[in-house]
Structures are given as structure tokens and as C-alpha cells.
Amino acid sequence: MQVEIKTFTGAKILTETLKNLGVDTIFGYPGGIVLKIYDELFAQNDIKHILNRHEQATIHAAEGYSRAFNGKKAGVVLVTSGPGATNLVTGLANAYLDGYPLVVLTGQVSKELIGKDAFQEVNIVNIARSCTKKTYQVTAVENLEEVLIDAFKTALSGKKGPVLVDLAKNIFTEETEFKGLKLSLEPPKSSGMINEIEKILSMSQHPVIVAGGGVVHSGASAELLEFAQKNSIPVVSTMMGLGTFPPEHPLNFGMIGLFGSFSANQIIRESDCILSLGARFNDRISSCFMNGELERNLIQVDINKEELSRVLNARLNVHSDIKEILISLKSFNKNFSSWSREAQILKSRNRTYQKISDKLHSFEVIDAIYEFTCDKNLTVTTEVGQHQMWCAKGYKFSHGGQFITSGGSGTMGFGLPAAIGASIAQNGASVICISGDGSFQMNSQELATIIDYNLPIKIMLLNNGYLGMVRQLQQKQCDGRYSETKISNPDFMQLAQSYGIKSVRVKSADEIQAALEQCFAVNEPFLIEFCIEPFEVV
């Protein structure tokens, strides 16, 4: 029987391959180079295109989309050449550091013009190389399908992350055979080092588990809870690991690091063994611990081989999927309950926030938002700054992936488009975006995108009139010389209303409840502006 050979243009091969890969959403911004792709998207109904208002917002939205699936699906981005491509670099770095899969498609000038400084030509492949897992350039249509398959495989394998595929304009109209290739992902890596892990844990008296973002990626929260409970081992988390362990559980000692809790940091100092599960230990954490406190019988488990011993000298490096490790450790049994009871005393020494004026304070806002929404199981995104840390410390996240924030890169302007992506991934569900007045203005044009797609995103804007985190650092490091951190703002209520979004302003604690009731009474976008104490610190 003769097999029919399908011959398609490159533009159609692109869309058909994306369909075969299960892609249902693309975040993009059109331009002249990629019009043939947009023509193919126009002719089909399986892939939905989300038109953002800025290319940086497209890639943050795509990451928010991926993170709503805990990285199990890749976010897909499509932009044109030149500035369209360069506007993505910040988002590439963000996804690369936090380890979320993106497949970023950029248009490029035709093959014969590459390297000749044609209109809107940039060498995006070289520009993006340092902040992607892999970059590709396709100049021949017969290579397109295989490159796309490899791009998705790379993005979704091991420690996940972004890849960039640069597409020369000529391939969109050239024709070749469409093979209908399938994606095959390798199973998670398991380790043969279980005996070594058990031996180190058995010899310890005061172990602690550090839950990092890798626990989210591997979907290992249930296994972590079972292992910690069975052996009564205290658990702390990095910011990216928040939600992976029940927040009210007696074995949860909070977030470690520069803005972590006293109990979490102190339990690290008093431990004699650290089982690290997918934590990177960047300088926000490592700078808090001296004299080898993090390297004391450190067992470092990570799916990314390059991450092992990048910062610390571990006693045991385990290159493996975290879920597989915890499953393999099910037979381990040692009762550390006396140590965990002893550690409970540390929680009483955690800092409690105090008001420094009669103005509204952040902890009043975050506490009220949590109490109002804790039974709604909503995804929470943030921008970057003081509000991000107040949220991380004050909102009790119930599951891994509920908290979507920019960790390694600290990208202002991330939260609002990420909320768009998360809401779309959840079929238009409500998402909370906690923002500061500085960060919000980085991508406030995305209010138009929110209205276009009728997304019920609830924006909680903490307005203190400053670039608050920088001002806080100036207070401590520059003797209060606040250079270029007091900022002018628009009337945020009028700004929201100009896009057709309802809003309300809150200036005191007794106004919060009514504002939240008004906000969540409608299944549509809403902005609450909280005017808070300018000199409050994290």
C-alpha cells in the first residue's frame, strides 16, 4: 500500500507540528517577517493566539502559563525579527534561572540577507545563547519539523527551561514533506545512591530538609510530606519552594534566606545534616550562613547536573529526579521527633510585624487578602520588590505552584503578564496579582490584554510612592540618601478605569474587607489600590 506523502509550506508545517505536540495556546505579537505564520494561524481553530501589548509581556505570560501546569507544558511565544526578538531577552533569562520550559519562535530575515544588516535583523541566536538551554536557527525548510521536535524535547527534559528557534523568512513559503514526527521524552532520572543517602541520614541527629523549586517541578509534594512526617524531620523552603509543604504543619519552619524567618535560618545553623531537594542556594541564601553551615553533611539532590556543587561543596551530590528519590527512600525509618520538638521553640522567636505609623501597613493587607481568599485555592502572582517578600512571608501557600513569582532574575514587570498566562492556562480562572507601584508600571499596558480576553485577574497594588526595596537598601547602606527612588505615579484608579477595569482605593485597615468583597463579587478584572506606609521595611 502506497503511503501518501504530504507536502506543506514551512508555515503550515510549523502550525501542524505545534498541533501534534499538543500546543493549544501561543502568546505573540505579529510583524512583517512572520505574517505567513499568522496566516496559517488564522486558517485553523486548534491553537489560540493571545495578543499581548509588548513582547516582554508575551514571554512572561507564556511562563505564567507553563507555571500554572508546574512546568509540565511548555509555554510558546511567537514574535517577529529585530526588536520583537530582542524584547524577549529579559523573559528568557527569567525562565532560564527559574527553570520553566518555553519554546520561543522568532522571525528572521531571509537566508540570503542574514549577516547583511537587513531591516530588523539582529543575531538573536548569539544574543540569547547565555540565557537559554539551546538556540536554533532554521534556514532550510526540510529541517524545520525535526528542529521543533528537538526544541520541545530540550525545553521539557532534565531541568526545564527556555529554548529559542530563529526562523528565516524564506522557509515559510518553501515546501517539503511533512512527516508528522512525534515527541518522545525520557523518563525521570532515578539514582543508585539511596544507600549513601540513608547512611548519612542515619548517622545524623539533627537533620533538616530544604525544599526548593525542584520539588514543584517534580510534583513531589505528597512524597515530601510522607517522608518528613514518617521520620519527623523539620522542613524549610526556598522562596521557589513555597507551598510544597503544608504551611501550618508543625514540621514547617518557613522560608530560608535573606528575607526568611528566624526559625528557618536558625534550624539550618543548628542542624547536622541538610537534605537539599532542588534548591540552588544562590547568594540570597548562602550569604546568610557562615563557617560552612550549609556544607555540613549536605546531600544535594537536583535534576540539573550542572547545579550540583555550583555554589556549595556537598558531601553527596545526587543527580536525580526528586520524586524518584523520595519514592526510593520510603523504606528509611528513623524517628527524629525529639529534635523536631526541640526546634519548635525557635518558632516563638520569629519576627512579628509592628506598625510604625497610623497608616495602612503591608502585613494588614496581605493578612486580609489571605484570610479572604484562603478557601478559594487561587494562584497568586507577584511583581518584584518589597510586596513580593511581604507576600512570600505572609500568604500561606497550600500547594506547590500556587505562588508564581520571579525568583532568580528578580524581574519587575513579571507579575501582571504572568497572571494573564496563568489565568488562560486555568480556562479563565481568577488569579491574584500582588504588585507594587513601581513594578506595576513596567507592564501596565497589559490591562488591555486582560480586558480583551475578559480575564478575572484581581490586582492588589501596594502603593508606597517609592521603589520600595531600593529605598530600603538606601536606608541601610546609604545613610538614608534616597536617590531616584521616590517615584511619581498616575492615578491608578483612573488608569484602570480608562481600560474598563473597576477599581477601588483603600487607605485604612477598616476599609480592606469591603474592598475585597467588592472585588471578588464580580467575575471580571478588578484593581484595589492600597496606600501603605512609605517607610515600612521587609
Residues taking part in catalysis: 55, 119-120, 169, 469
Q: Show the cell assigned to 50.
A: 493571545
CA dihedral of 330, 312, 402, 431, whole degrees rounded to 10 = -170
* Residue 481: count of CB within 10 angstroms of its CB: 9
CA dihedral of 281, 70, 425, 365, whole degrees rounded to 10 = -50
Alpha carbon distance 280, 362 (integer Å): 29
* Residue 248: count of CB within 10 angstroms of its CB: 7
| 338 phi/psi in degrees, rounded to 5 | -65, -40
Give Cα separations from 357 to 365, 475, 534 (angstroms): 15, 17, 10
Helix or strand (DSSP H, E) at 255: strand 252-255
392: nearest Cα among 159, 250, 381: 381
Q: Characterize the bridge pairing of strands 379-382 and 431-436.
A: parallel
Tell me if residue 289 falls in helix, strand or coil. Answer: coil
Alpha carbon distance 469, 487 (integer Å): 13
CB 526 within 8 A of CB 459: yes
CB within 8 Å of 20: residues ≥ 6 apart: 180, 181, 182, 183
CB 472 within 8 A of CB 389: no
14: nearest Cα among 177, 135, 148, 183: 148
Q: Show the cell assigned to 345.
A: 521553640
Query: For 474-482, which contacts have Cβ atoms below 8 Å and span 24 or more sequence positions?
Result: 475/535, 475/537
Residue type, 405: T
Q: Show the cell assigned to 220.
A: 513531589
75: nearest Cα among 44, 102, 47: 102
* Residue 378: count of CB within 10 angstroms of its CB: 17
Cα Dmax for the chain: 83
467: nearest Cα among 507, 410, 405: 410
